[in-house]
Structure 1
Amino acid sequence: MYILEYSEDFGGPEDDFAFEKTTIVYEMAGSIYRAFSRKRYLSKEEIQFGDMFSTNKIQGALVFPEFKDTFTKAEGLPEHLSTLYLKKPSLSPYSPNYPDLIRETWIAEVKTCEILKKNPHPNIAQYHGCAVVNDGSIRGIYFTKYDQTLMDKVNPARRNKLEFAYQRTQADLSKVDGWLKGIELGLKHLHGLGIIHNDINPCNIMFQGDSPVIIDFDSSRAQGHDLSLVKRTHGWHDEKIEVSLPSNDTDALREMRMWLLGEVQQFQF
């Protein structure tokens, strides 16, 4: 058994939001499976086969989309690989109830990235094309590699949202305003192209030097698109809103300002 990825799932009411289970994706005998565990792990080496329950086999054809001629194939990149980041599709969200959801999400992100490649912006991650294997399926997409996320820049200990904001007693207002202005310019560019990001949060903002860059477009959809099956980050969106709207991004940006300045009393989510 080889563990491909694992992630912790949290849930429950806002005042009792807690760990529920670990989602595990593993490969065995040439097949890929998704399972759950009630335990928490410090590393994948701790995961035991006997820990797992609700195991489902993942069919590659259902999760890895076919490369289309309208997409960009990443070619001639080996000499530049140190400056690139290969994003691979996460298989943890796999559900037998929606077996092709990962593939559809991946196709939607590639289509968004193709639009952005034709319409670049300094505050939007630069996309370089798809990683395609011999069977013609897409196994990843290449982006420029950036320095660090906003989360790592200001909150390397990864304190939770409220804990971080409560201890945020000293913040450089001019620096925060500069960061937020760059993010706002990136969002205006996206919205002008008819793209709503829908998952603006400190982990989806990276930096090139001190310039913010918006990343991660797997939740991006056109205005009015249904978001009921689209992944968004807990605590950074209004859970009552299940449609793609520009206000999803602008409200999240406002929330991020309050988080950076420690103004907990003004949190919306």
Structure 2
Amino acid sequence: MSSAETPLRIVSANEVWKENEDSGKIAFSHTAIVAFRGETAYHGTTTGRNTALDKEALLKTLKPIPREHIYPQFSSHFTRAPEIHIKTPSLSLYEPDQAQQIADLLLHEAEIYEILRRHPHPNLGQSLGCVVSDDGRITGLALVKYNGLGLFERAYDPESFGEEQRNHCIERLKVAVQHLHDLGLAHNDLSPENVMFTDDGEPVLLDFDSCHPIGTKLIKGGQVGEFENGIPVAKYESSSADCDNAGIEYISAWLKRKYEERKSKNDPRKRDYEPVEESLGETCAKSSNECTEISEE
């Protein structure tokens, strides 16, 4: 629908009263109307009271308000508010025989974000709070929005995301995950798709619906790799630091492999690469947490 087809939406009709210069008495002057069409504001006036307005005639009097008359220019000495992403429940998960599953997942993630609000870390995603409906229910989470490409997309560009950046990313993820472990939590869903970047190029770990206190039996999450063919290398049954550490190890090896593959893509001497799965076998075997290795058929 074009802006011309978008209907005008009246948002306020306020009566304006002024003092009569001759009598000194306060008397009705006019009704001021404010309306919106999309993001464009409109203003108009009428001599009628707001209890008896002719809506059709009123709409014809409305004129757009220039943006510069409403919104001042941003100056660099002000603080820019973070962009917001509203995370809403995934209704595709709904099953009548598990009716509370969606609500429980959203409530759980809200609780994790509250812990992180009290114990923030620059490499962990931030919540600005819950979006609450008129009936007092949580309908979403207001999260800081990160623009640009995530880790999964950046991994395929060795020119703009080189070895130094990849190593820095892994080191910062290790520190972020250790912060969770120090709080008694584990993320349990480490994946390049859950890592975005700030404007300064710092990695930020997101998606905490699988984050639980260490030792909690997992219903969701717990898988380590594979990010491209959907086959996990290992699956952890309980929330654990072992799961996170194995996930970071996998991401690190995967990033190195993608870098080498892309750098040598057009090189006829391109060598075969050791599967990342082999590098994880020892980690999984040493894990004190219950862990199942999964092999590809």
TM over 0.5: yes
Q: 241, 250, 256: which is aligned to 2:251?
A: 256
Distance in 1 between residues matched to 2:202 and 2:161, nearest whole Å = 17
Residues 255, 89 of structure 1: alpha-carbon distance in 2 compared, 3 angstrom cutoff = same
Tell me the residue number matched to 2:191. Answer: 201
Residues 82, 117 of structure 1: alpha-carbon distance in 2 compared, 3 angstrom cutoff = closer
Secondary structure at 2:96's aligned position in 1?
coil
Q: 226, 236, 250: which is aligned to 1:241?
A: 236
TM-score, with structure 1 as normaliser: 0.60
State the Cα distance separating 1:153 from its structure 2 match: 2.3
Distance in 2 between residues matched to 1:88 and 1:98, nearest whole Å = 18
Tell me the residue number matched to 2:98. Answer: 98
How many aligned residue pairs are there? 179
Distance in 2 between residues matched to 1:251 and 1:115, nearest whole Å = 24
Tell me the residue number matched to 2:181. Answer: 191
Pair 1:212-2:222 in alignment: no
Residues 231, 251 of structure 1: alpha-carbon distance in 2 compared, 3 angstrom cutoff = closer
State the Cα distance separating 1:264 from its structure 2 match: 4.7
Distance in 1 between residues matched to 2:140 and 2:160, nearest whole Å = 40
Q: How does 1:1-269 map to 2 (within 5 A)?
A: 83-147=83-147, 148-155=149-156, 172-208=162-198, 209-227=200-218, 229-231=219-221, 235=226, 239-262=234-257, 264-267=274-277, 268=280
What's the Cα RMSD here?
Answer: 2.7
2:155–2:161 contact (8 Å) kept in structure 1:
no
- What is the letter of the counterpart of residue 114 of structure 1? E
Distance in 2 between residues matched to 1:197 and 1:126, nearest whole Å = 14
Residues 231, 97 of structure 1: alpha-carbon distance in 2 compared, 3 angstrom cutoff = farther
- What is the letter of the counterpart of residue 207 of structure 2? D
Tell me the residue number matched to 1:51. Answer: none
2:254–2:276 contact (8 Å) kept in structure 1:
no
Residues 105, 264 of structure 1: alpha-carbon distance in 2 compared, 3 angstrom cutoff = farther
The unaligned stretches of length 5 or more in structure 2 are: 1-79, 258-272, 281-293
- What is the letter of the counterpart of residue 190 of structure 2? I
Secondary structure at 1:97's aligned position in 2?
helix
Which has the higher relative contact order, 1 or 2, with Cα contacts under 8 A spaced 6 or more apart? 1
The one-character-per-residue Cα deviations of 1:89-143 (angstroms, maximum 9, x if unpaired) are 1111122232211111111111110000011111011111000011111111111
State the Cα distance separating 1:238 from its structure 2 match: 5.1
- What is the letter of the counterpart of residue 83 of structure 2? T
Secondary structure at 1:130's aligned position in 2?
strand
The unaligned stretches of length 5 or more in structure 1 are: 1-79, 157-167
Q: Which structure has the greater CA radius of gyration?
A: 2
Distance in 2 between residues matched to 1:259 and 1:169, nearest whole Å = 17
